[in-house]
């Protein structure tokens, strides 16, 4: 099996880009990634592109060849859709292709353009990641769905809104120095607690923003990197994917996310590590409760223990396990089709030492990304490691 390295990474700034097109955003990220890698366009053998709601937001289907054209590529291009895990799946499939020997160089990533729609229209577009027949028609939205999951967690394990407020405060603090983040400002626990309710117990600062942006990664085989003298110190040593019932009412419980647990177990097994080996993590915190659920599904905390992790200072920048040093979806932003790729970009930068928060984890060698779709009906986990 061929080893896989992250040769180059690229991002747009996350935020409001309603005056730009999706192809423009993705081209920017892709060109940055190829320039960072030092890989010629002609060597790219495939584009794996993640996007969720482009057909609704831009009335543009069949986006993959369009994005290849925008990036100056003539290789085969495929779009992957797995709700908010779209780019994570695109990256996973790139890793699998290189491991198998099918390709040596693949560009993967994703894009979402959302702010050109009204808040109501964006909410409606995002809702199609839920069960249309049994959830959407009954008025379910994702803030409402995650509120149900938060309530179930509190009833099962304990915890309260202040625990969640500490998650938001932590991630906003991490985003201050990240030039790609949508919100580069700190908030206080009091601000989070006093913000307007969205769906109890979740308030405004428990939710990620509506975001435009793109991410891109150049994955190469270890043999290609060696032959072409490419400096690519970060390897993808494990990847996993899991699924669950789409609708919340069809699940065994609401306070755990077994799709992410299965994805993590698969990724850890491939990497030959366990949760205790993880030194830094980028997880899918579309809502503050989602970070709690992610940490437990990744095995980094036992069920019921992660709710107080940020409050206790364990997952803060100076804690034993820094989580979401990018700012997470909460403060960096969540252009849904790009997020999974963005997490790998951020973790790669952290591990190779050129992230503004790399000084927080100067000796870290192993990190994990966790990307979820919908209410974690889909999950993708990657293990990254600094190669010897």
Please give the positions annotated as active site: 84, 334
- C-alpha closest to that of 243 among 88, 78, 48: 88
Report the sign of the C-alpha dihedral through residues 107, 108, 109, 111, in that order.
positive
CB atoms within 10 A of CB 163: 21
d(CA 371, CA 264): 11
- Please check whether residue 71 is in contact with residue 26, taking contact to mean a CB–CB distance below 8 angstroms: yes
**For 207, which DSSP code?**
B
User: Please, are residues 321 and 363 in contact by the beta-carbon 8 Å criterion?
Assistant: no
Task: Give the separation between CA 265 and CA 241, rounded to whole angstroms.
Answer: 9
Handedness of CA 31, 37, 41, 44 (dihedral sign): negative
Q: What is the DSSP letter of 250?
A: G
* Cα gap 184→169, rounded to integer Å: 12
Nearest alpha carbon to residue 6 among 225, 153, 178, 192: 225
Q: How far apart are the first and last CA of the chain?
A: 18
Please state, in angstroms and rounded to a whole number, the distance separating the CA atoms of residues 188 and 196. 14
CB 77, CB 67: distance < 8 Å: yes
Contact status, residue 109 vs residue 340, Cβ threshold 8 Å:
no
CB of 97 closer than 8 Å to CB of 103:
yes
Q: Tokens 């820094």 label which residue?
A: 322
């Amino acid at each position: 099996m061929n080893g896989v390295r992250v040769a180059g990474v690229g991002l747009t700034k996350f935020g409001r880009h309603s005056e730009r097109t999706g192809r423009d955003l993705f081209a920017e990220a892709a060109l940055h990634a190829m320039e960072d890698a030092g890989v010629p366009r002609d060597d790219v053998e495939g584009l794996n592109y993640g996007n969720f709601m482009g057909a609704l937001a831009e009335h543009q289907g069949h986006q993959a060849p369009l994005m290849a054209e925008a990036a100056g590529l003539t290789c085969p291009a495929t779009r992957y859709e797995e709700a908010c895990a779209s780019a994570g799946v695109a990256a996973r499939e790139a890793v699998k292709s290189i491991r198998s020997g099918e390709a040596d160089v693949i560009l993967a990533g994703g894009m979402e353009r959302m702010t050109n729609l009204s808040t109501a229209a964006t909410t409606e577009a995002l809702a199609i990641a839920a069960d249309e027949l049994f959830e959407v028609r009954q008025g379910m939205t994702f803030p409402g769905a995650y509120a149900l999951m938060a309530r179930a967690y509190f009833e099962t394990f304990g915890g309260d809104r202040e625990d969640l407020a500490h998650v938001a405060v932590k991630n906003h603090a991490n985003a201050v120095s990240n030039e790609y983040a949508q919100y580069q400002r700190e908030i206080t626990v009091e601000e989070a607690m006093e913000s307007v309710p969205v769906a109890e117990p979740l308030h405004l600062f428990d939710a990620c923003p509506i975001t435009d942006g793109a991410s891109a990664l150049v994955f190469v085989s270890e043999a290609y990197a060696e032959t072409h003298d490419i400096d690519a110190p970060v390897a993808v040593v494990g990847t996993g994917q899991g699924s669950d019932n789409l609708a919340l009412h069809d699940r065994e419980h609401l306070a755990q996310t077994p799709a992410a647990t299965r994805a993590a177990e698969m990724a850890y097994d491939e990497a030959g590590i366990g949760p205790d080996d993880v030194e830094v993590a980028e997880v899918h915190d579309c809502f503050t409760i989602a970070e709690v659920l992610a940490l437990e599904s990744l095995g980094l905390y036992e069920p019921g223990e992660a709710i107080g992790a940020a409050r206790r200072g364990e997952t803060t920048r100076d804690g034993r396990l820094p989580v979401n040093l990018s700012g997470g979806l909460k403060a960096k932003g969540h252009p849904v089709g790009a997020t999974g790729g963005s997490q790998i970009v951020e973790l790669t930068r952290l591990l190779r030492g050129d992230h503004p928060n790399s000084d927080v984890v100067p000796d870290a060698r192993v990190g994990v990304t966790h990307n979820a779709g919908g209410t974690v009906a889909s999950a993708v986990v990657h293990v990254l490691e600094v190669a010897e």
